[in-house]
Amino acid sequence: MKQLTLHHPSGEFVALMALLMCMVALSIDAVLPGLGPMASDLNVSNSNDIQLVVAIVYAGMAVGQLIYGFLADAKGRKVAISLGILIFVLGSLVALFSDNLEMMLLGRFMQGLGAAGPRTITLAIIRDQYKGNEMARVLSLVMTIFIISPVIAPLIGQGILWLFGWRQIFIFLLGLASIAWLWFWLRQPETLAVEDRVPFSVKETLRNLRRMVNEHAAVYYVIALGFIFGAFIGFLNTVQPVLQGIYKMGAAFPLLFATLTISFAAASYLNSRLVMRFGTKRLALSAAVMVVLLSSVMYLITFLLQGVPPLWGLMIYLGVTLFFVGLQFGNLNAMAMEPFGHIAGTASAVIGNVSTLLAVVSGTLVGQLFDATVLPLVAGFGVLASGAALFIHRANVIHSQRPVKIVKS
């Protein structure tokens, strides 16, 4: 097998991979400050419906994850990423010229469908070129930049909103995607040799899917991942109306949002150390239980305060809760992937698709329950984390009863 290996990654390569991975985060978080004016201009009668502009991106991404993995293995990495960026650009144009909510949602779905390509295949490009410690080093550098994107994206969006208007945010995304594609196409060589490409097989895919369904513990971890991801999407759906609507934070919203995402990012960074001490199973379950406990206490306090706690109290609650949510993403993904050995490509695509679709449904429900109080947001964290904890516990019990069976092709 022909393997293209670069032992010393350049700063350009790291920056390019980080930019490609950031497209989903940028397309979501940069738009958040403009949701209010967008709802007004698009004549959205139900204020909660504008939240769909966030959730529909994840729905598109869920569908795209199934497509690009197979395409990249059959036709090469550059074709898959280029197709994804093209769809993202077309979606940005549809969103830019939208004059109603339906057209906007179509554009946003296309953005998610397109962004799934670079988001998914970037990892494959890195894996093609690096192994072992060197691969871990490259991923760490890329993820360091990736983690920063949710912090700065709302600030960029707010700045564009101040100077121009919400439509120009989509011009920014359109321009950024175009630059990313040109940079990628001119500077990044194909990393999957022709002789290593694998034609898509329906029969083999169905056989692998049956293997996955029969691994009950992995299925439970996927469901748990969907629930905890749904709580995060519920947060994204409601954080703007909560901070700008209830607390009248206005232009300060991006700074408050950045503060909260730093907590989430810190959890992702610290998880690599904590997991070596406590283990993935114990850490994921404990983190889910902590979200349940924190949310139960916060719900009671918020209820007694007629649904609107002090801003400082809400920020502390959300910061700590997002920290424990952040501890679960990597661990649940790892545990769900653990049994699938040589079908990792298919498994990764299916796990991403199922967990994201479940998250979109549950997170959208949390958003639609918004009633000008903080109660639905807190309840969403508590209820969905409870579901996650139950499925994690059940999966852990199965693991304790028998060793993990590694699925081979």
Reduced to 3 states (helix: H, G, I; strand: E, B; else coil), residue 303 is: helix
Structure tokens belonging to residue 390? 């139950």
- Give the model's pLDDT for residue 406: 47
In angstroms, the CA 36 to CA 39 distance is 5
87 close to 110: Cβ distance less than 8 angstroms = yes
- For the stretch 74-78, contacts whose Cβ atoms lie closer than 8 Å and that sit 24 or more positions apart, written own/partner, are 74/197, 74/198, 74/199, 74/200, 75/197, 76/190, 76/192, 76/194, 76/197, 77/121, 77/124, 77/125, 77/128, 77/190, 77/191, 77/192, 78/184, 78/185, 78/188, 78/190
- Give the model's pLDDT for residue 327: 86
The number of residues making up the chain comes to 409
Residue 376 carries which side chain, given as an amino acid letter?
P
Structure tokens belonging to residue 48? 């909660």
Domain-wise residue ranges, the chain: 1-198, 201-409
Taking each helix axis from N to C end, the angle separating 280-304 and 375-401, rounded to the nearest 10 degrees, works out to 160
The CB-side HSE value for 45 (13 A sphere, CA atoms) comes to 1
Query: What CATH number belongs to 1-198?
Result: 1.20.1250.20
Is CATH 1.20.1250.20 the right assignment for the domain spanning 201-409?
A: yes
In angstroms, the CA 347 to CA 339 distance is 10
Are 1-198 and 201-409 equal in CATH topology?
A: yes
Does an H or E element contain 277, and which? helix 253-278
Helices and strands counted in the chain (H then E): 15, 0
Does an H or E element contain 288, and which? helix 280-304
Read off the pLDDT of residues 79-97 as tens digits, 9 standing for 90 and up: 999 999 999 999 999 999 9
Reduced to 3 states (helix: H, G, I; strand: E, B; else coil), residue 131 is: coil
Reduced to 3 states (helix: H, G, I; strand: E, B; else coil), residue 125 is: helix
Residue-wise over 255-274: b if at least 16 C-beta within 10 A, else e? Answer: ebbbebbbbbbebbeebeeb
pTM: predicted TM-score of the whole model, two decimal places: 0.82
- Give the model's pLDDT for residue 343: 61
Low-confidence ranges of the chain (pLDDT < 70): 1-9, 131-137, 139-140, 143-144, 272, 340-346, 402-409
100 close to 163: Cβ distance less than 8 angstroms = no
- Give the model's pLDDT for residue 335: 82
Structure tokens belonging to residue 381? 């964290």
Read off the pLDDT of residues 41-72 as tens digits, 9 standing for 90 and up: 999 988 889 989 999 999 999 899 888 878 88
Reduced to 3 states (helix: H, G, I; strand: E, B; else coil), residue 100 is: coil
68 close to 116: Cβ distance less than 8 angstroms = yes
In angstroms, the CA 300 to CA 204 distance is 51
Structure tokens belonging to residue 130? 């690096």
Does an H or E element contain 350, and which? helix 344-368
